[in-house]
Structure 1
Amino acid sequence: MLVRASWALRGFPRGLRLTAKRRGLSGGADGRGAAADCFPLDRALLRLQGQETGPFLQGLLTNDVTRLLGAGGASEAPRAQYAHLLNVQGRCLYDVILYRIHESSQEETHILLECDAAVLDSLQKHLKVYKIRRKVNITPCHDLALWAVIPKVPSKEVSPELQQYTGKVVVATSDPRVDVMGWRLITSQGTNPVEIVPGSKIGNIEDYHRHRYKQGIPEGIKDLPTGVALPLESNLAYMNGISFTKGCYIGQELTARTHHMGVIRKRLLPIQLAVAEPFERIPEGAEIVTESGKSAGKYRAGREELGIALLRLANINEPLHLKLSGGATVNLTTSVPKWWPKPTNA
């Protein structure tokens, strides 16, 4: 494996560490019941390494990569960072999470970049288009596996015992978007996370997506259609995915203008259908209407009765209906996620 893991364990999220009484994620002192679910994600990783990796990404991503890399010797630099890559019209191309890799033996910047597995090849090609002559190597990481860890009850107990997993854990960090998404765990292929996260079990990936939709968290091209989704309507600012003080990047002009105008009339919101509907009955981009038939937004994606939709904020407290194939409709309700900052029009 190309990356050693000892550095990562020093920054392991507190709730993932094992205590002498095995209470960190064990569901209590008696250890009854799994207190965390580990979900194998359908996401892929690219490794970016080289002297000019930081400036290269800084000109492409919505977030300030210098913060991730500890600009100015900052001791509290984040271990992970959420961001979007936009097209020149300011619409989302790819949603990504960056992971900082630092080893004492390395002088070059080393970053792992997470993306939807379905767009791995196109993202790699996109990056190489803008690479030109920069000293940056971009390679897929087929030797690594990515997991989401969702704890039932957060724990603050700490222990250094996870040092025994050096060589298996590459990255372990809080999800940089919102606390309700738990942690991200990157391991070598074939590693069983249950052996690393005490008191955990392997979860069904459908439950992970239902959790996301219940919280209103978009992820991947189904939720954020390429060339369609706008970053601020997709709550990028709410999920710590954008800097309004960094220098220029592709797609910045429309995004900055929208932010400074201070008016965002539509946002992605979690929705719940009155009855669970099979995917084939919900057309792509299905319209959501008010009681009077006025358009209130569009459905994006979901699992059974849970999903997310781009809705006009002025209509979210009204009775709403989702149009299905064949002219049928189903009632739905929506809610403002508790993790959203206030006021919601910021």
Structure 2
Amino acid sequence: MTETRLNERAIIRLSATDGSEDIRQFLQGLVTQDTTAVATGAPQWAALLSAQGKLLFDFFLWADGNDILIDCEKEHAEGLVRRLKLYRLRRKIEIALDGSLQVHWALAAENRPVDPRLAALGYRWLDDPSNGESADEEYRKHRLSLGVTEGINELGSDKTLWLECNAAELNGVSFTKGCYVGQENTARMNYRQKVNRRMVVVPIESADEKRQRIAYPAYGLSVEHRRVDDLQALDLPDWLKAAI
């Protein structure tokens, strides 16, 4: 199988330009995931939130020695770099796109990391950008068939609370790591068990245009932000059904 390359993804590298800097510690106060859990071969799904707990960017964190790599949407990679640089202040940390690596994906792959959100999503890894052919369409179709949403086109930017993106169910948030941007509202929602809306994937014939974020006519699917009370009649995936 050669169709593994996700051309719609990009890599951002964060590296220290001074031995006193710690990239994990820098990110620990910013992102939703516990950066100590990011290890070789064990990527973590995470997000950068607004102060109100709404998603700005979602991405995967990868370890590369002392560096951290961010696997993000190519379309919004430069925007994420700019946002991270705002938090860098005077710290001696380099934050830049890294074109030497590309994200790859397959449903079956030996000795590759499993998607940290859901094992059924398959395997993803970082490799040479010249290897393989585009798998973006196949990846998107498979992901949506499992009810998993991602990216700004589906989740919105500064529109959706992170727990409404099913972050707890898909391992995109740590409730034990301590403070980060947007943590207070996220922790409160979890403690009170008050997630009133959810991102869901529904058949396009059941679409509600008022709740729709994006439609995929070719797949017969609609991505929507719906109230939990309206989900009972839907055929939800098991991983989400158990949470509602």
Q: What's the TM-score once normalised by structure 1's chain length?
A: 0.64
Aligned-residue offset at 1:56: 0.6
Asked if the contact 2:149/2:200 (under 8 Å) is kept, the reply is no
Aligned-residue offset at 1:316: 2.2
Aligned-residue offset at 1:204: 5.1
Q: 2:138 aligns with which of 198, 203, 207?
A: 207
Aligned-residue offset at 1:40: 2.5
The one-character-per-residue Cα deviations of 1:167-219 (angstroms, maximum 9, x if unpaired) are xxxxx421111112111121112123xxxxxxxxx565323212222211112
- The 2-side partners of 1:272 and 1:301 are apart by 12
Structure 2: gaps (5+ residues): none
Q: 2:215 aligns with which of 302, 320, 335?
A: 302
Q: Could you say if the C-alpha distance between residues 266 and 273 of structure 1 is closer, same or farther in structure 2, counting changes exceeding 3 Å?
A: same
- The 1-side partners of 2:85 and 2:134 are apart by 36
Q: 1:241 aligns with which of 172, 182, 188?
A: 172
Moved more, 303-312 or 80-89: 303-312
Asked if the contact 2:11/2:72 (under 8 Å) is kept, the reply is yes
- Partner secondary structure for residue 222 of structure 1: helix
Q: 1:53 aligns with which of 23, 40, 44?
A: 23
The one-character-per-residue Cα deviations of 1:256-295 (angstroms, maximum 9, x if unpaired) are 11111112121112201239xxxxxx9xx931xxxxxxxx
Q: 2:160 aligns with which of 217, 221, 229?
A: 229
- The 2-side partners of 1:39 and 1:211 are apart by 15
The one-character-per-residue Cα deviations of 1:19-54 (angstroms, maximum 9, x if unpaired) are xxxxxxxxxxxxxxx6x9525240111011123201
Q: 1:97 aligns with which of 51, 60, 67?
A: 60
In the alignment, which residue of structure 2 is the partner of 1:125? 82
> Which amino acid in 1 is paired with 2:183?
Q
* Mapped pair 1:144 → 2:101: yes
* RMSD (Å) for aligned C-alpha atoms: 2.4
- Partner secondary structure for residue 212 of structure 1: helix
Name which one, 1 or 2, has greater alpha-carbon Rg. 1
Aligned-residue offset at 1:338: 2.2
> Which amino acid in 1 is paired with 2:68?
I
> Which amino acid in 1 is paired with 2:121?
M
- The 2-side partners of 1:173 and 1:216 are apart by 21
The structure richer in helix per residue is 2
- Identity within the alignment, %: 31
Asked if the contact 1:268/1:308 (under 8 Å) is kept, the reply is yes
- The 1-side partners of 2:62 and 2:241 are apart by 25
Aligned-residue offset at 1:119: 1.1
What is the count of residue pairs matched by the alignment? 238
Q: What's the TM-score once normalised by structure 2's chain length?
A: 0.88
- Partner secondary structure for residue 238 of structure 2: coil
Write out aligned runs for 1:105-184 (5 A): 109-151=66-108, 172-184=112-124
* Mapped pair 1:255 → 2:186: yes
- Partner secondary structure for residue 339 of structure 1: helix
